[in-house]
């Protein structure tokens, strides 16, 4: 290995290790937050908590690894460009393509390791994680109930004053509320002096044995008048047993739409075998159900059953030989048969939809093992060119670019998977959608960076049509042109205002002419000042030569201010549209989700464009009027309203001071 390759690889690895560790712990903290109900107040020892997080941690690697590659690539190559190390390499005849060569080989190896990790380690860790949660609840059943507060298990809310015993399975002063069938309030209250929790590792049930207590139940009479009396039943007991199903406590995925999580516990070979079995079973179920429906409604194959011979007399209207009540009975029977068949079809359709979704989830799990490997390569060939182009290392701008790219990647990935789960698109397209969309972007960036073309973030082809749409007509033609006014063609009244201006000095009149727009002087007032100066021998051409006919700086500042107002208003409109569409698209409507994605992209484009306009204004007046690109993007979407009004106030103050 050459010295240069070793240096580039060492620089990348040091950055990558730091970024990976930081991001890994951030995502682990998120996992702690997700499972805080399982960990907090359960009297778990340190070893058990570490084991719990250890089995959870492999699940976050598919998110952390591509993001770490992206950010470390931007930072490493940004540092090289910022410190002119790339310039030294190019002077020595080493191109960017050659500099990326050693890292490309390393990332390829890392991608292969990522595939092996996703195929072997993650399924095993997921299996151990689920079993650990199950074991914790079964070996320490008291963990399901917190001391001094209500704990919900199924349809029961349980509160105990004190837990004691070897495994804290002995309870004192127990109060139980059983929720009503409608989920509102409690129609059964059980109080007991003490009790015992009994768990069995061989079953998924937790048994609560209560001693010396009372049982209260509200009675719901049919008569409304009797309801006002609030009747209830009361009974006492020496021993009372309640069985709880622990399956809800062992659920690892918080998404209620998830049918099964066994797909995350399988490797590629097991997934292929399982998918084949599930699809074969689905086809058999469809054939079986179709045959049952045919038999139920009497639909038979015409090739099997002989057709009856048609008699000479053909009955065209069956109702003509039946009595009216018989016709009514036949119609009611037919209606009931159709209704029952429809209910059966709807129920089976829901069942088959669930099976299809389960199969799609297994396909997605299969493709994800390959996607994570390709994502590492993709993020490298996006991050390295970006770092070389922006020429900024360290934190700050690299984090902004990494955040934007990864959010787009992750958002498209989640969108594709959700649509694929609902069988809206093939699972292959759902898993690979983000990679397919961003691959041309990676190729473009790599090509431009390796050929020293650079990347100008110019969105005028998008923003200009929208700005013309939102710009008032009277300001569209407001351009900076030093035009000479034909004073002879104008009627200028030599009135009292004219006589007053005639007593002004030349410098005062020149100031009025030059800054008429700045101080909101009327064109008539300015023309009178020009007329007096002309009478004194100071022509408009003389004013042009001395740069006093117009205040170019203020006109440019005003033009930028008007442009910012339009851009900011469009950003505000897209912000509200994106919020509304995000709420409406909560039911995973593909069209609404696609429109919301486009709207969010437009929002960030105009946010960036308005930031550029503010930078130009700040350079013109010698004062910073924006809050920085990093803060703008970080607080852009969630807090744009506050940012919008804050910058408007700053611009107004700056324009006032400029006068």
10-residue mean pLDDT profile of the chain (659 residues): values are 81 89 85 65 67 83 89 87 80 81 89 90 84 64 69 79 78 83 62 83 73 82 64 83 67 38 78 86 80 66 46 50 70 76 73 82 88 90 85 73 83 84 83 88 84 60 62 50 73 83 88 84 87 88 85 83 85 83 63 76 82 84 75 70 80 72
- Most distant CA atoms of the chain, gap in Å: 123
Shared domain check, 276 and 220: no
- Tell me whether residue 258 is in a domain: no
Write out the two tokens for 600. Answer: 């969010």
Shared domain check, 230 and 174: yes
- What is the secondary structure of 38-60 as a DSSP string? HHTTS---HHHHHHHHHHHGGGG
- Tell me whether residue 466 is in a domain: yes
Local structure of residue 584 (DSSP, 8 states): H
- Cβ of 354: how many Cβ atoms within 10 Å? 12
Q: Last residue of some domain: 450, 482, 509?
A: 450
Domain of residue 335 covers 264-303+320-366
Write out the two tokens for 100. Answer: 């990326």
Shared domain check, 89 and 166: no
| pLDDT of amino acid 135 | 65
- Tell me whether residue 511 is in a domain: yes
**What is the C-alpha to C-alpha distance for residues 309 and 306, in angstroms, rounded to an integer?**
9
Write out the two tokens for 52. Answer: 């719990």
Shared domain check, 133 and 17: yes
- Tell me whether residue 479 is in a domain: no
| pLDDT of amino acid 500 | 87
Q: Which residue has the tokens 């509160």?
A: 159
- Tell me whether residue 85 is in a domain: yes
Cβ pair 66, 377 in contact under 8 A? no
- Cβ of 300: how many Cβ atoms within 10 Å? 10
**What is the C-alpha to C-alpha distance for residues 43 and 34, in angstroms, rounded to an integer?**
18
Cβ pair 197, 207 in contact under 8 A? yes
- 205-218, strands of its sheet edge to edge: 151-153, 156-164, 170-179, 186-199, 205-218, 232-245
- Tell me whether residue 202 is in a domain: yes
Shared domain check, 518 and 557: no
| pLDDT of amino acid 252 | 40
Shared domain check, 108 and 70: yes
Cβ pair 132, 201 in contact under 8 A? no
Question: What's this model's pTM, rounded to 2 decimal places?
Answer: 0.57
- Tell me whether residue 486 is in a domain: no
| pLDDT of amino acid 579 | 79
| pLDDT of amino acid 259 | 34
- Residues paired with residue 162 on neighbouring β-strands, in sequence order: 172
Cα–Cα separations (whole angstroms), residue 101 to 77, 379, 380, 499: 13, 15, 12, 80
Cα–Cα separations (whole angstroms), residue 597 to 99, 414, 582: 36, 12, 9
Q: Last residue of some domain: 529, 549, 569?
A: 549
Write out the two tokens for 3. Answer: 């010295």
Shared domain check, 620 and 560: yes
**What is the C-alpha to C-alpha distance for residues 136 and 357, in angstroms, rounded to an integer?**
31
Shared domain check, 240 and 149: yes
Shared domain check, 375 and 360: no
Closest CA to 383 of 71, 80, 83: 71
Shared domain check, 374 and 511: no
Three-state secondary structure call for residue 249: helix
| pLDDT of amino acid 251 | 47
| pLDDT of amino acid 464 | 65
638 Cβ contact partners less than 8 Å away, ≥ 6 residues apart: none
Three-state secondary structure call for residue 344: helix
Cβ pair 142, 168 in contact under 8 A? yes
**What is the C-alpha to C-alpha distance for residues 220 and 223, in angstroms, rounded to an integer?**
9
Shared domain check, 98 and 148: no
324 Cβ contact partners less than 8 Å away, ≥ 6 residues apart: none
Write out the two tokens for 252. Answer: 């690892």
| pLDDT of amino acid 51 | 80
Q: Last residue of some domain: 507, 533, 549?
A: 549
- Residues paired with residue 387 on neighbouring β-strands, in sequence order: none
- Tell me whether residue 242 is in a domain: yes
Shared domain check, 289 and 403: no
Cα–Cα separations (whole angstroms), residue 654 to 229, 445, 631, 659: 72, 38, 21, 9
Main-chain dihedrals φ then ψ at residue 190, nearest 5 degrees: -125, 130
Q: Which residue has the tokens 């001693």?
A: 211
Write out the two tokens for 603. Answer: 């929002």
Write out the two tokens for 272. Answer: 């292929």
Write out the two tokens for 601. Answer: 């992209």
**What ranges make up the beta strands (E) of 533-593?**
none
Please tell me the total count of domains within the chain.
Answer: 5
């Amino acid at each position: 290995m050459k010295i240069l390759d070793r240096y580039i690889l060492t620089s990348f690895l040091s950055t990558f290790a730091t970024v990976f560790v930081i991001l890994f712990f951030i995502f682990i903290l998120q996992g702690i937050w997700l499972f805080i109900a399982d960990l907090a107040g359960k009297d778990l020892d340190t070893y058990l908590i570490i084991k719990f997080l250890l089995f959870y941690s492999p699940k976050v690697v598919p998110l952390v690894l591509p993001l770490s590659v992206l950010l470390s690539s931007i930072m490493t190559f940004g540092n090289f460009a910022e410190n002119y190390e790339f310039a030294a390499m190019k002077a020595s005849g080493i191109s960017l393509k050659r500099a990326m060569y050693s890292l490309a080989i390393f990332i390829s190896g890392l991608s292969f390791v990522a595939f092996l990790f996703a195929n072997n380690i993650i399924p095993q860790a997921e299996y151990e994680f689920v079993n650990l949660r199950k074991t914790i609840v079964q070996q320490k059943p008291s963990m399901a109930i917190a001391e001094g507060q209500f704990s919900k298990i199924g349809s029961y809310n349980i509160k105990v004053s004190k837990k004691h015993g070897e495994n804290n399975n002995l309870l004192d002063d127990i109060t139980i509320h059983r929720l009503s069938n409608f989920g509102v309030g409690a129609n059964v209250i059980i109080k007991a002096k003490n009790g015992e929790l009994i768990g069995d590792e061989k079953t998924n049930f937790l048994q609560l044995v209560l001693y010396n207590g009372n049982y209260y139940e509200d009675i719901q009479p049919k008569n409304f008048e009797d309801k006002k009396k609030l009747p209830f039943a009361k009974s006492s007991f020496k021993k009372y047993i309640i069985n709880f199903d622990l399956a809800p406590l062992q659920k690892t995925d918080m998404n209620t739409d998830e049918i099964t999580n066994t797909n995350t516990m399988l490797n590629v070979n097991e997934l292929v075998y399982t998918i084949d079995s599930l699809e074969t079973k689905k086809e058999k179920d469809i054939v079986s159900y179709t045959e049952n429906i045919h038999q139920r409604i009497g639909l038979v194959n015409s090739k099997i059953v002989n057709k009856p011979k048609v008699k000479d007399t053909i009955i065209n209207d069956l109702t003509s030989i039946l009595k009216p009540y018989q016709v009514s009975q036949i119609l009611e029977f037919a209606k009931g048969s159709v209704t029952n068949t429809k209910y059966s079809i709807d129920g089976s359709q829901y069942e088959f939809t669930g099976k299809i979704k389960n199969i799609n989830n297994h396909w997605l799990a299969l493709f994800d093992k390959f996607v994570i490997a390709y994502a590492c390569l993709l993020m490298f060939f996006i991050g390295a060119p970006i770092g070389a182009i922006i020429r900024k290392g360290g934190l700050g701008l690299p984090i902004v670019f990494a955040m934007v790219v990864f959010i787009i990647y992750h958002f498209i990935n989640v969108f594709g998977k959700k649509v694929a789960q609902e069988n809206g698109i093939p699972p292959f397209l759902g898993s690979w959608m983000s990679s397919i969309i961003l691959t041309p972007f990676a190729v473009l960036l790599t090509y431009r960076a390796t050929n020293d073309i650079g990347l100008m973030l110019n969105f005028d082809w998008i923003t200009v049509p929208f700005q013309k749409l939102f710009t008032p007509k009277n300001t569209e033609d407001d351009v900076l042109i030093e035009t000479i006014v034909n004073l002879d063609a104008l009627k200028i009244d030599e009135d009292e205002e004219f006589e007053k201006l005639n007593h002004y000095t030349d410098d005062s009149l020149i100031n009025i002419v030059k800054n008429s727009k700045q101080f909101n002087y009327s064109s008539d007032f300015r023309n009178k000042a020009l007329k007096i100066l002309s009478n004194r021998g100071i022509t408009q051409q003389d004013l042009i030569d001395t740069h006093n006919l117009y205040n170019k700086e203020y006109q440019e500042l005003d033009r930028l201010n008007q442009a910012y107002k339009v851009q900011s208003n469009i950003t505000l409109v897209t912000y509200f549209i994106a919020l509304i569409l995000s709420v409406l698209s909560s039911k995973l409507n593909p069209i609404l989700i696609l429109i919301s994605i486009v709207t969010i992209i437009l929002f960030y484009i105009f946010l960036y464009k308005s930031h550029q306009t503010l930078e130009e204004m700040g350079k013109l007046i010698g004062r910073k009027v924006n809050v920085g690109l990093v803060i703008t993007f970080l607080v852009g979407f969630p807090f744009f309203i506050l940012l919008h009004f804050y910058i408007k106030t700053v611009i107004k103050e700056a324009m006032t001071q400029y006068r």
